[in-house]
């Protein structure tokens, strides 16, 4: 039993959670490369709404929305219909040919975005969309220096990975020259030991002074998540994004906002950047745009696009502008609007947050509850005064949750390993939220020291 609990806990820990034990492969996985710790010991047979069902008949409540993509829940009929329609029409084309769904998806997205953002290209993953954004920024500015948070995650392709500081940097050779880190503005764990619970933006000023000192005079971009996810569910403090944008403008850098996880309702708005009154020069969408299928978008202004094209911009991939995922993207957009999922994320998110606050009152091991909409985090601590992260508790709680039928992630990329990320589909029912809270309560109690 102890072995099984430990194994389940490692599974629940997710990428990076396997450690040494990941070497003891299950014979069933003998022909798979282990890309992020151990695989789960069950096989998922089907998924519907907020639920997964395993081959051996277990039902698991999915509070990770798959890999943060299934905001409409699993098996939403609008997505199934779009796949069926597109597969009967056209799935894939020569990359220079366009299908109607691609043109319409771009038009529909631009109708939802503020004026300066007028042009999109559609790719497959978040890493690819960020790669394209970085290449556009470099070509447009002529620079190559890129700032990103020390707790960032922007993808696994070389450019995106060079600006991913939360994990995966060691052992792969040099990152791209010119990549530099800014302190993650987490008021619960001030990165420069200056504030406590209220960020006064000193970490931004300190970070900019440091990156200015390192610069060789070739600034290109800052790439930023509006709520750091892998970095520990950290919403940007009030005023941070506007101040950063000013710093970018003063230095001739473009601001890239990466809304892989936050766009299309998750944070309680259609786009999280709207909550900061700042319009980026480049916006990237991915996970939530495809609702579980590989679809991403790089979006920018007419000015940047025309300049880059005049300079010979090339980003030709096998699946750029693929029709089938574009059809799915259109179904996702229309469903998010028709079902008012941003508002739903706010109202159901308030129910979840109130439940988590109540758990905070009763469980000393919960130091902080934070996030927005239906993207919430619990920061687990050994001691509420010192705020020392409690990685052991986090791993045990996620493992116990999984045994009890609730899947949630521990965010361990920032080296802290103590933040539980709680992000059910936006279509989750109030009853499912209550059940998830009940299981979490039980797991927090069972795993208490």
Ligand X SMILES: Cc1ncc(COP(=O)(O)O)c(C=O)c1O
DSSP conformation letters of 196-225: SSS--SHHHHHHHHHHHHH--S-EEEEEE-
Verify binding: residue 127, ligand X, rule CB under 6 A.
yes
Angle at 267 between CA 264 and CA 271, to 5 degrees: 45
Q: Which listed residue (126, 143, 349, 371) binds ligand X by CB under 6 A? A: 126
**Which 293-312 positions form the footprint of ligand X (CB under 6 A)?**
none
Decide: is 335 part of the binding site for ligand X (CB under 6 A): no
CB of 262 to ligand X, least distance (A): 8
Closest CB to ligand X among residues 154, 251 = 154
The DSSP 8-state label assigned to residue 14 in this structure reads: -
| 328 binds ligand X, rule: CB under 6 A | no
- Residue pair 57/65 in contact (Cβ under 8 Å)? The answer is no
- 125 vs 298 by CB, closer to ligand X: 125
* Residue 51 annotated to the active site: no
Write the burial class of residue 173 (CB in 10 Å: 0-12 exposed, 13-18 middle, 19+ buried). Answer: exposed
The answer for 224, left when phi > 0, alpha when psi is -120 to 50, beta otherwise, is beta
Surface-to-core class of residue 92, CB atoms within 10 Å of its CB (0-12 exposed, 13-18 middle, 19+ buried): middle
Residue 229 Cβ vs ligand X, minimum distance, rounded to whole Å? 5
Give the per-residue contact string, 203-242, with ligand X (x = CB under 6 A; - = no).
Answer: ----------------------x---xx------------
Stretch that binds ligand X, among 147-155, 270-278, 377-385, 421-429 (CB under 6 A): 147-155
Q: Site for ligand X (CB under 6 A): how many residues? A: 14
CB 269 within 8 A of CB 275: yes
184 binds ligand X, rule: CB under 6 A:
no
Residue 261 binds ligand X (CB under 6 A): yes
Torsion angles phi and psi, residue 201, rounded to 5: 70, 10
The smaller minimum CB distance to ligand X, of residues 278 and 366, is found at: 278
Of residues 225, 305, 368, 391, which has the active-site annotation? 225
Q: Is residue 288 a contact point for ligand X (CB under 6 A)?
A: no
Nearer to ligand X, 260 or 345 (CB): 260
Q: How far is the CB of 132 from ligand X (least distance, A)?
A: 12
Coil, helix or strand at residue 244? helix
Choosing from 10, 128, 259, 261, the catalytic residue is 261
If one asks whether residue 125 binds ligand X (CB under 6 A), the answer comes out as yes
Pick the catalytic residue from 10, 145, 153, 266. 153
Compute the distance between CA of residue 364 and CA of residue 358 in angstroms, rounded to an integer.
11
Query: Of all residues in this chain, which one has the CB nearest to ligand X in the complex?
Result: 126
Q: Which two tokens stand for residue 119?
A: 């042009």
Q: Which is nearer to ligand X, 155 or 183 (CB)?
A: 155
377 binds ligand X (CB under 6 A): no
Does 286 sit near ligand X (CB under 6 A)?
A: yes
The region of 28-36, 120-128, 247-255, 389-397 touching ligand X under the rule CB under 6 A is 120-128
Alpha helices in 238-362 (DSSP H): 240-251, 287-290, 302-310, 323-338, 341-362
For β-strands 227-228 and 234-235, DSSP reports them as: antiparallel
Which secondary-structure segment (H or E) carries 446? helix 430-446
Residue 258 annotated among the catalytic residues of the structure: yes
* CA-based torsion, 289, 321, 319, 301: positive or negative: negative
Candidates 42-50, 152-160, 191-199, 417-425; binding stretch for ligand X (CB under 6 A):
152-160
User: Should residue 154 be labelled a site residue for ligand X when binding is judged by CB under 6 A?
Assistant: yes
User: What is the distance between the alpha carbons of residues 302 and 118, in angstroms, rounded to a whole number?
Assistant: 6
CA atoms of 105 and 91, how far apart (whole Å): 15
412 binds ligand X (CB under 6 A): no
The length of the chain, given as a count of residues: 449
Annotated catalytic residue, options 62, 101, 145, 258: 258
Does 417 bind ligand X (CB under 6 A)? Our answer is: no
Q: What is the DSSP letter of 360?
A: H
CB of 157 to ligand X, least distance (A): 7
Active site residue 225: yes
Q: Which is nearer to ligand X, 50 or 125 (CB)?
A: 125
Distance (Å, whole) CA 357 – CA 350: 10
Distance CA 290, CA 109 (A): 13
Residues that bind ligand X (CB under 6 A): 125-127, 130, 153-155, 225, 229-230, 258, 260-261, 286
Residues noted as catalytic: 153, 225, 258, 261, 287, 421
């Amino acid at each position: 039993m102890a072995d099984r609990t430990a194994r389940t806990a490692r599974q629940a820990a997710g990428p990076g959670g396997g450690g040494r034990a990941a070497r003891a492969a299950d014979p069933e996985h003998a022909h798979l490369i282990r890309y992020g710790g151990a695989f789960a010991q069950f096989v998922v047979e089907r998924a519907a709404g907020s639920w997964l069902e395993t081959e051996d008949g277990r039902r698991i409540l999915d509070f990770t929305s798959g890999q943060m993509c299934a905001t409409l829940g699993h098996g939403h009929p609008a997505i199934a219909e779009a796949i069926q329609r597109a597969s009967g029409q056209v799935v894939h084309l020569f990359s220079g040919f366009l299908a109607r769904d691609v043109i319409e998806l771009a038009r529909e997205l631009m109708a939802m975005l503020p004026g300066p953002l007028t042009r999109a290209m559609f790719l497959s993953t978040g890493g690819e969309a960020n790669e394209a954004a970085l290449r556009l920024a470099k070509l447009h500015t002529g620079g190559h220096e890129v700032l990103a948070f020390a707790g960032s995650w922007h993808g696994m392709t070389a450019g995106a990975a060079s600006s991913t500081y939360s994990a995966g940097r060691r052992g792969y050779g040099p990152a791209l020259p010119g990549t530099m880190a800014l302190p993650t503005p987490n008021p619960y764990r001030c990165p420069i030991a200056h504030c406590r619970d209220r960020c006064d933006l000193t970490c931004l000023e300190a970070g900019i002074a440091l990156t200015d000192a390192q610069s060789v005079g070739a600034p290109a971009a800052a790439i930023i998540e509006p709520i750091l996810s892998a970095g520990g569910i950290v919403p940007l403090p009030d005023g941070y994004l506007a101040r950063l944008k000013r710093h970018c403008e003063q230095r001739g850098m473009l601001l890239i906002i990466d809304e892989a996880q936050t766009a299309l309702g998750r944070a309680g708005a259609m786009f999280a950047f709207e909550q900061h009154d700042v319009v980026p020069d480049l916006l990237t969408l991915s996970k939530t745009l495809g609702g579980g299928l590989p679809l991403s978008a790089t979006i920018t202004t007419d000015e940047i696009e025309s300049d880059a094209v005049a300079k010979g911009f090339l980003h030709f991939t096998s699946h750029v502008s693929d029709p089938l995922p574009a059809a799915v993207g259109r179904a996702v957009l229309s469903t998010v609007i028709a079902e008012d999922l941003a508002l739903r994320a706010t109202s159901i998110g308030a129910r979840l947050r109130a439940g988590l606050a109540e758990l905070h009152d009763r469980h000393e091991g919960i130091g902080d509850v934070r996030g927005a909409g239906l993207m919430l985090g619990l920061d687990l601590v050994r001691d509420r005064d010192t705020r020392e992260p409690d990685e052991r508790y986090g791993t045990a709680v996620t493992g116990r949750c999984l045994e009890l039928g609730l899947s949630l992630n521990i965010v361990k990329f920032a080296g802290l390993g103590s933040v539980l990320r709680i992000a059910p589909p936006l279509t989750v029912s109030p009853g499912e939220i209550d059940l998830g809270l009940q299981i979490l309560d039980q797991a927090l109690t069972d795993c208490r020291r």
